[in-house]
Structure 1
Amino acid sequence: MDTVVRMRPMDEPDPRAARRDSEAGGGAGPATADLAVSPFRADRDRIVSSPFFARLGGVTQVVSAGGSGLLHNRLTHSLKVATVARSIAERLLASPDAADLARKLGGLDPDVAEAAALAHDLGHPPFGHLGEGVLDRVARHRFNLADGFEGNAQTFRILTTTDVRGPSAVGLDLTAAVRAAVLKYPWSRLHRPRPHPSEMPVPPRGAAEPGDAPGTGSSKFCAYSTEWDDFEQARAPFAGRVEPWQQTVEASVMDTADDIAYAIHDLQDFHRIGVLQHAEVAAELGGWTANALELAGLDPATLDSEARRPGRSLERMRRRLHAKDSWIVDDDAFALAVARVRTELVDDLLSGAFDGSIEAEQALAAFSARWTARLVDGVLLTPSPPTRTGHLTLRAAQWHEVQVLKFVHRRFVLLRPDLALHQRGQASLVSTLVDALDAWLVDRDEAYRLPRRLRDLVELARTEYAAIARAEPELLVGATGEPVRGTDAVYELARGRAVIDFVSSLTDKQAVSLLDALSGRASQPWSESFVL
Structure 2
Amino acid sequence: MVSVVPSPDPRAGRRDEAAESGFAALSSSPFRTDRDRLVASPFFARLSGVTQVVSASGSALLHNRLTHSLKVAQVARLIAERISAAEDTRALVAKLGGCDPDVAEAAALGHDLGHPPFGHLGEQVLDRIARHRYGLADGFEGNAQTFRIVTTTEVGGPVPRGLNLTAAVRAALLKYPWARLHRPRPHPSTLPVPPRGAAEPPQAPGSGSAKFSVYATELDELEECRAPFADRIEYWQQTVEASVMDLADDIAYAIHDLQDFHRIGVLQHAAVAAELGHWLSRSGELAALPEAELIDQHRRPGRSLEHLRRRLHAKDSWVADAGAFADAVARVRAELVDELLGIPFDGSVEAEQATARFSARWTARLVDGVVVTPSPSPRTGHVTLEPAQWHEVQVLKFVHKRFVLQRPDLALHQRGQASVIVNLVDALDAWLSDREETSRLPRRLHDLVELAQAEYGELAHDAPELLVGATGEPVRGADAVRSLARGRAVIDFVASLTDRQASAMLDAISGRSDQPWSEPSVL
**Taking structure 2 as the reference length, what is the TM-score of the superposition?**
0.98
Q: How does 1:50-129 map to 2 (within 5 A)?
A: 50-129=41-120
- 3-state DSSP of counterpart to 1:446: helix
Question: Could you tell me how far 1:67 is from its partner in structure 2?
Answer: 4.1
Q: Which amino acid aligns with 1:359?
A: E
Q: Which residue of 2 aligns with 1:149?
A: 140
- 3-state DSSP of counterpart to 2:237: coil
Q: Answer yes or no: is the 8 Å Cα contact 1:21–1:166 preserved in 2.
A: no
Q: Answer yes or no: is the 8 Å Cα contact 1:21–1:167 preserved in 2.
A: no
Q: Answer yes or no: is the 8 Å Cα contact 1:180–1:235 preserved in 2.
A: yes
Q: Distance in 1 between matches of 2:295 and 2:163?
A: 49
Q: How does 1:491-506 map to 2 (within 5 A)?
A: 491-506=482-497
Q: Distance in 2 between matches of 1:515 and 1:524?
A: 13
Q: Which residue of 2 aligns with 1:314?
A: 305
Q: Which amino acid aligns with 2:486?
A: R
Question: Could you tell me how far 1:305 is from its partner in structure 2?
Answer: 3.0
Question: Could you tell me how far 1:69 is from its partner in structure 2?
Answer: 1.2
Question: Could you tell me how far 1:308 is from its partner in structure 2?
Answer: 2.0
Question: Could you tell me how far 1:316 is from its partner in structure 2?
Answer: 0.6
Q: Which residue of 2 aligns with 1:6?
A: none
2:11 to 4, 10, 16: 16
- 3-state DSSP of counterpart to 1:447: helix
Q: Distance in 2 between matches of 1:35 and 1:113?
A: 18
**In the alignment, does 2:410 pair up with 1:415?**
no
Q: Deviations over 1:379-418 (max 9, x none)?
A: 0000010100000000000000000000000000000001
Question: Could you tell me how far 1:490 is from its partner in structure 2?
Answer: 0.4
Q: Answer yes or no: is the 8 Å Cα contact 1:510–1:530 preserved in 2.
A: no
Q: Answer yes or no: is the 8 Å Cα contact 2:37–2:157 preserved in 1.
A: no
Question: Could you tell me how far 1:281 is from its partner in structure 2?
Answer: 0.3
Q: Distance in 1 between matches of 2:14 and 2:295?
A: 53
Question: Could you tell me how far 1:21 is from its partner in structure 2?
Answer: 1.4
- 3-state DSSP of counterpart to 1:21: coil
**In the alignment, does 2:269 pair up with 1:274?**
no
Q: Which residue of 2 aligns with 1:515?
A: 506
Q: Answer yes or no: is the 8 Å Cα contact 1:28–1:167 preserved in 2.
A: no
Q: Which residue of 2 aligns with 1:381?
A: 372
Q: Which residue of 1 aligns with 2:220?
A: 229
Question: Could you tell me how far 1:307 is from its partner in structure 2?
Answer: 1.9
Question: Could you tell me how far 1:306 is from its partner in structure 2?
Answer: 2.4
- 3-state DSSP of counterpart to 1:354: coil
- 3-state DSSP of counterpart to 1:210: coil
Q: CA RMSD in A?
A: 1.2
Q: How does 1:67-466 map to 2 (within 5 A)?
A: 67-466=58-457
Percent identical among aligned pairs is: 75
Q: Distance in 2 between matches of 1:271 and 1:167?
A: 44
Q: Distance in 2 between matches of 1:133 and 1:304?
A: 24
Q: Distance in 2 between matches of 1:358 and 1:455?
A: 52
Q: Answer yes or no: is the 8 Å Cα contact 2:13–2:167 preserved in 1.
A: yes
- 3-state DSSP of counterpart to 1:147: coil
Q: Deviations over 1:167-193 (max 9, x none)?
A: 331000000000000000000000100
Q: Answer yes or no: is the 8 Å Cα contact 2:429–2:490 preserved in 1.
A: yes
Q: Which residue of 1 aligns with 2:517?
A: 526
Q: Answer yes or no: is the 8 Å Cα contact 2:279–2:301 preserved in 1.
A: yes
Question: Could you tell me how far 1:99 is from its partner in structure 2?
Answer: 1.1
**In the alignment, does 2:21 pair up with 1:28?**
yes
Q: Deviations over 1:478-511 (max 9, x none)?
A: 1111111111110000000000000000000000
Q: Which amino acid aligns with 1:268?
A: Q
Q: Distance in 1 between matches of 2:521 and 2:505?
A: 8
Q: Which residue of 2 aligns with 1:5?
A: none
Q: Distance in 1 between matches of 2:28 and 2:476?
A: 47
Question: Could you tell me how far 1:11 is from its partner in structure 2?
Answer: 11
Give the gaps of 5 or more residues in structure 2.
none
Q: Answer yes or no: is the 8 Å Cα contact 1:506–1:530 preserved in 2.
A: no
Q: Deviations over 1:414-442 (max 9, x none)?
A: 00001000000100110110111011001
Q: Distance in 1 between matches of 2:295 and 2:243?
A: 35
Question: Could you tell me how far 1:527 is from its partner in structure 2?
Answer: 2.5
Q: Distance in 2 between matches of 1:484 and 1:33?
A: 44
Q: Distance in 1 between matches of 2:87 and 2:283?
A: 42
Q: Answer yes or no: is the 8 Å Cα contact 2:34–2:166 preserved in 1.
A: yes
Q: Which amino acid aligns with 1:361?
A: E
Q: Distance in 2 between matches of 1:287 and 1:141?
A: 43
Q: Deviations over 1:337-367 (max 9, x none)?
A: 0000000000100011100001100000000
**Taking structure 1 as the reference length, what is the TM-score of the superposition?**
0.96
Q: Distance in 2 between matches of 1:109 and 1:315?
A: 40
